[in-house]
């Protein structure tokens, strides 16, 4: 897959604050294997093929970008796919799950309480799944091979700019993508993560991922935990207004779960002079646009498209 474009954004606020702002358009990598989920799957798919697996098994919520990406990757790379989905089955299927169905992904729905034990050794057996047959990918695709896949984004950015930017910023869900960026930077510049869930566990999660790849000595990263808008997949009107305005002024579509919160946070931080004059800042657009259809189904067409 070829590198995604790096797009320079010009807006009056950026001029005024002297910040060079770029968007790494990983949303354009593939319409369904979106953004970071493609990078996270890449080496997992290679590993699965090498080890002779024909089937992928993974986990996620009913609107998961990762499940959509895995379903699409299964078709493209010739794997059968099985998704373990959190929560009871509801009909009609939401747009994400309809897409899984279209891709031929087998779906097993489990209660939220059972889902919590999904990594227990007996869990798959209780669902009558022969786990020997499957290459198993954790929720969100987040494992060490995912981190390795994401690290390449840093190289691509550097190649386009001629040098690393002062900051690379990313939305954090499980923290694996952020860990990949930190690993790719390998001590240079600053990685800034914007956490899209409520709570203060992300820093530990990232440290765990970094220690798995022997990179826990790296400390050129920080997190912003003030822009979750109430929690994962929660929102408030100012976030929606921002996403719509951003689309109008830049032409770039953001999603309300991840990249909308990320861009909102960055523009708030720019307003607050968080980034010194003359800084260069790359926001990674990790995709997730497939989620807008499900969001619209729940809340109405509040996101302009
Ligand atoms: C999954 C996802 C993220 C978060 O990635 P993690 O590795 O789980 O932190 C960010 N942006 C989008 C669009 C995603 O789908």
Q: What is the pLDDT along the chain (305 residues), one digit of tens a residue?
A: 679 999 999 999 999 999 999 999 999 998 778 889 999 999 999 999 999 999 999 999 999 999 999 999 999 999 999 999 999 999 999 999 999 999 999 999 999 999 999 999 899 999 999 999 999 999 999 999 999 999 999 999 999 999 999 999 999 999 999 999 999 999 999 999 999 999 999 999 999 999 999 999 999 999 999 999 999 999 999 999 999 999 999 999 999 999 999 999 999 999 999 999 999 999 999 999 999 999 999 999 999 98
Q: How far is the CA of 64 from the centre of ligand 1 (A)?
A: 10
Instruction: Report residue 293: phi and psi, to 5°.
Output: -60, -45
Q: Does ligand 1 have an atom closer than 6 angstroms to the CB of 24?
A: no
pLDDT of residue 305: 85
Strand partners, 191: 168, 221
Q: How far is the CA of 300 from the centre of ligand 1 (A)?
A: 23
Own/partner contacts of 121-125, CB < 8 Å, gap of 24 or more, are 124/57
Which of 31, 60, 72, 174 should be mutated for ligand 1, with most atoms under 8 A from CB?
174
Q: Does ligand 1 have an atom closer than 6 angstroms to the CB of 70?
A: no
Place of tokens 């981190």: 147
* Cβ partners under 8 Å of residue 265, min gap 6: 194, 224, 226, 227
Q: In what order do the strands lie in the sheet with 280-284?
A: 6-9, 20-24, 280-284, 167-172, 190-195, 221-224
Nearest atom in ligand 1 to 69's CA: 15
The structure's pTM equals 0.97
pLDDT of residue 1: 65
Q: Does ligand 1 have an atom closer than 6 angstroms to the CB of 287?
A: yes
Q: How far is the CA of 173 from the centre of ligand 1 (A)?
A: 5
Q: Does ligand 1 have an atom closer than 6 angstroms to the CB of 7?
A: no
Q: How far is the CA of 29 from the centre of ligand 1 (A)?
A: 15
Nearest atom in ligand 1 to 150's CA: 7
- How many angstroms separate the Cα of 220 from the Cα of each of 73, 183, 187, 288? 33, 10, 6, 27
Q: Does ligand 1 have an atom closer than 6 angstroms to the CB of 176?
A: yes
Q: Does ligand 1 have an atom closer than 6 angstroms to the CB of 258?
A: yes
Nearest atom in ligand 1 to 140's CA: 8
Cis before 92? omega within 30? yes
Q: Are 71 and 97 spatial neighbours (Cβ–Cβ below 8 Å)?
A: no
Q: How far is the CA of 206 from the centre of ligand 1 (A)?
A: 13
DSSP 8-state secondary structure symbol assigned to residue 84:
E
Q: How far is the CA of 93 from the centre of ligand 1 (A)?
A: 23
Residue whose CA lies nearest to ligand 1 atom number 4: 173
pLDDT of residue 34: 80
């Amino acid at each position: 897959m070829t590198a995604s474009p790096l797009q320079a954004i010009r807006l009056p606020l950026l001029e005024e604050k002297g910040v060079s702002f770029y968007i790494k358009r990983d949303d354009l990598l593939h319409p369904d294997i979106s953004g970071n989920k493609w990078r996270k799957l890449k080496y997992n798919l290679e590993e699965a093929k090498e080890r002779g697996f024909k089937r992928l098994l993974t986990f996620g919520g009913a609107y998961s970008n990762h499940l959509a990406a895995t379903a699409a990757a299964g078709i493209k790379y010739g794997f059968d796919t099985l998704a373990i989905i959190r929560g009871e089955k509801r009909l009609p299927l939401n747009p994400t799950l309809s897409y899984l169905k279209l891709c031929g992904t087998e779906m097993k729905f489990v209660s939220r309480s059972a889902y919590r034990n999904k990594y227990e050794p007996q869990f798959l057996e209780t669902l009558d799944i022969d786990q020997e047959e499957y290459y198993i990918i954790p929720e969100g695709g987040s494992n060490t091979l995912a981190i390795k896949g994401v690290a390449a984004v840093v190289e691509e950015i550097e190649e386009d700019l001629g040098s690393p930017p002062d900051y690379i910023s990313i939305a954090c869900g499980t923290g694996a993508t952020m860990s990949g960026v930190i690993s790719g930077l390998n001590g240079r510049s600053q990685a800034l993560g914007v956490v899209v869930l409520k709570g203060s566990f992300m820093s530990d999660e990232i440290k765990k991922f970094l220690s798995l790849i022997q990179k826990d000595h790296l400390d050129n990263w920080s997190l912003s935990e003030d822009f979750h808008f109430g929690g994962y997949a929660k929102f408030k009107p100012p976030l929606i207004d921002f996403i719509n305005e951003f689309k109008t002024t830049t032409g770039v579509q953001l999603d309300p779960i991840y990249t909308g919160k990320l861009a909102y946070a960055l523009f708030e931080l720019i307003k607050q002079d968080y980034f010194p004059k003359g800084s260069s800042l790359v926001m990674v657009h990790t995709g997730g646009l497939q989620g807008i259809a499900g969001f619209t189904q729940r809340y109405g067409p509040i996101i302009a498209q």
